[in-house]
Amino acid sequence: MDFKRFFDEFFLYSSQFFVFFILMLLITHSGDALGPTSIIIVTLFLVVQILLLVGQGHKPILRILFSFITPSAYTLVRMLTGTFVPLDMANAFIWGAALYVGLFQAVALSGRGAWFKRAAEAFLATGVVLVFIFFYFYLDLRLGLSKRLASGEISQAQYAKALGLATFGSSFLKFLETPQNDFLVFGVATFGIMLLASKVKALSLRSRIAGLFGTARVDERIGDPAAAAGEASTVTVVSSDIRDFTGLADRLSPERAVALLNRYYSVWAVAADRHGGRIAGTTGDSVLVVFGLLGEKDAAERALACARDFIAELPGLRDDLQSASLPAPSDVSIGMHSGTIVAGDLGVQGSRRLGVFGEAVSTAARLDSLCREFKQDLLLSQSVFRQLELESQARLVRIGEVLLRNSTQPVPVYGTK
């Protein structure tokens, strides 16, 4: 089971509010409290709901339907124990939260436009904040009423009436009169804004992936007679692959493996385009990006910035893969070297594309493979390090020496601090 996806569903999609509610039933002793057996049954249904959302929650209609599993279980248990009150606040909050959150999650999944998805996520974040506030208000109200019931200040009938939906407005306004409750509302609202910002960032990545998904980058040099004939260039090459991809792919169907790789390629395409790089090759899980084909003097800086951007986007890529029920790669290796390559249009007539080969390509690939040995995500050769600005050099550290191809002496390699 994908435990990360399980906990994402639990913490980010409001299932935890049902746990809060179950704990609320345990700590408030009154005539309408559920027994241990009933609480265990509701908890088991909650676990089933989360597991179903993990497996099939990427389908909008199923996300809505599965969101009603726990509320249905709670209502059924209440009916079987003879404590069901249709217009009780608890029923309204549980069913309302399930409908609101499930609906806007489905809208966010099914929407096509980026702004449409962001609007859905804004409503979703607002709903999560309101659900938390209302559940806390209900706990505060229930605890106060339970104490009054235990002391004999109110009867069981008055207790039930005070928890009815008809008294919600007046009770909530009284709740807001307390300064500490106002502070709680402010804190939860701040958390909601932070959650929304994180979601919007993830959506921005997904929209960029969607724009590039399944498309091949065409370099403007293709068709250039000089490129067709082949020419030598001094460039900076970035080579990357997914660690243990073979084992990962063995557990996937061909369609799912292709879907995973296309998303991985798309994030590299976004990062390369942002920094003026050219994707010169994708073979299996290996990606080759070249900087400096047009003679740019800051090729090494651009390459390093591209690699760092890709690493920064990895959490978003993992979230995107998990939202599509695909496994997320745990680690990615990146090697970087500056040197000479030969670039040209490779292939048969009608299917040519820009291709590169040479010393810089093989050395970057060698550094890529050495990342595992040095326990690094990113390894740079000394030729790259020397071209970097002092600020960039200060963020790197010399981690060892290796014997590279065509060198008689070990040369330094650098990684991130």
Give the pairing type, strands 378-381 and 332-346.
Answer: parallel
The alpha carbon of 95 is separated from its chain's Cα centroid by a whole number of angstroms, namely 27
Beta strands in 144-301 (DSSP E): 231-242, 278-283, 286-291
Which pLDDT value is given to residue 215? 38
The winner for highest mean pLDDT among 98-107, 118-127, 233-242, 403-412 is 233-242
Tokens 């608890």 correspond to 90
Judge contact between 71 and 23, C-beta under 8 A: no
Question: What percent of the chain is predicted at pLDDT more than 70?
Answer: 79
54, pLDDT greater than 70:
yes
Kindly report which listed range (152-166, 203-217, 354-368) carries the lowest average pLDDT score. Answer: 203-217
CA distance 19 to 190: 22
What is the phi/psi pair of residue 396, to 5°? -115, 165
48, pLDDT greater than 70:
yes
Which pLDDT value is given to residue 160? 84
pTM (2 d.p.): 0.50
Q: Check residues 374 and 227 and name the one with the higher pLDDT.
A: 374
Kindly report which listed range (274-278, 354-358, 386-390, 410-414) carries the lowest average pLDDT score. Answer: 354-358
Token pair listed for 409: 């002496």
Kindly report which listed range (26-40, 164-178, 202-216) carries the lowest average pLDDT score. Answer: 202-216
Orientation angle between helical segments 299-323 and 179-212, nearest 10 degrees: 110
**Mean of the per-residue pLDDT values of the chain:** 79
Which pLDDT value is given to residue 139? 82
Indicate the pLDDT class of residue 218, thresholds 50, 70 and 90.
very low
Sign of CA dihedral 217, 328, 312, 199: positive
Indicate the pLDDT class of residue 5, thresholds 50, 70 and 90.
low
Tokens 């990684």 correspond to 415
203: Cβ–Cβ under 8 A, 6 or more apart, which residues?
Answer: 114, 117, 118, 121
Which pLDDT value is given to residue 15? 54
Q: Check residues 390 and 294 and name the one with the higher pLDDT.
A: 390
Judge contact between 365 and 381, C-beta under 8 A: no
343, pLDDT greater than 70:
yes
Q: What is the average pLDDT across 166-181? A: 90
Q: What is the average pLDDT across 14-29? A: 64
DSSP for 10-61 reads: HHHSSTHHHHHHHHHHHH--STTPPPHHHHHHHHHHHHHHHHHHHHHTTSHH
211, pLDDT greater than 70:
no
Judge contact between 252 and 260, C-beta under 8 A: yes
25, pLDDT greater than 50:
yes
Question: What percent of the chain is predicted at pLDDT more than 90?
Answer: 16
